[in-house]
Amino acid sequence: MKKFGTIWAIVFILGSSIAVAQDRAPAPLLPDRIPFVSPPGLSGIQVAQILGDPKQPTPYLIRVKLADGARIPPHTHPDARNSTVLTGTLYVGFGETFMESRVVAVPTGGVYVAPEGVPHYLWAKDGEVIYQEAGTGPTGVAFVKP
């Protein structure tokens, strides 16, 4: 992991800056100030970049909201991702085909890992789900072709 050479740094998060210095503490990013966007072609899904830049070779943190019943089809990432469920129950499955019978429930507070290059899929089967993913970029999403 890349280390910072000085304690003086300014981190820009979604257009607002957080100053990190010896005389000031970083300002928190509160939930009601997180701007979510809807990726094209994925109904009921919203994503927010929280920390870092997923396109750069540095750590990043994103947050994802799935509406009740929303699904993310089988896909892979070029990096391993660690995900923590913040609210709801997230159903996770692994493989190139979405199979309802093979999902595992990950409740609020639960964590799952999506290894680098391993196809997986997600489902908000029982209501809205919010989860947070951390990884090290550069990253992306490659959907599995049916």
What range does the domain containing 122 cover?
A: 30-143
pLDDT at position 26 = 85
Flag whether 89 is in a domain.
yes
Flag whether 20 is in a domain.
no
Flag whether 17 is in a domain.
no
Domain count, the chain: 1
Q: For tokens 């003086």, name the residue.
A: 8
Flag whether 137 is in a domain.
yes
CA pair distance 111, 83, nearest whole angstrom: 5
What CATH number corresponds to the domain at position 86? 2.60.120.10
- What is the Cβ-side half-sphere exposure of residue 93, based on CA atoms within 13 angstroms? 18
Task: Return the percentage of the chain with pLDDT > 90, whole number.
Answer: 78
Q: For tokens 């947050």, name the residue.
A: 63
Flag whether 6 is in a domain.
no
Tens-digit pLDDT profile for residues 64-112: 999 999 999 999 999 999 999 999 999 999 999 999 999 999 999 999 9
**Mean pLDDT for the chain?**
87
CA pair distance 106, 115, nearest whole angstrom: 16
How many Cβ atoms are within 10 Å of 98's Cβ, its own excluded?
19
Extract the tokens encoding 102.
Answer: 């093979």
Flag whether 102 is in a domain.
yes
Flag whether 13 is in a domain.
no
Flag whether 14 is in a domain.
no
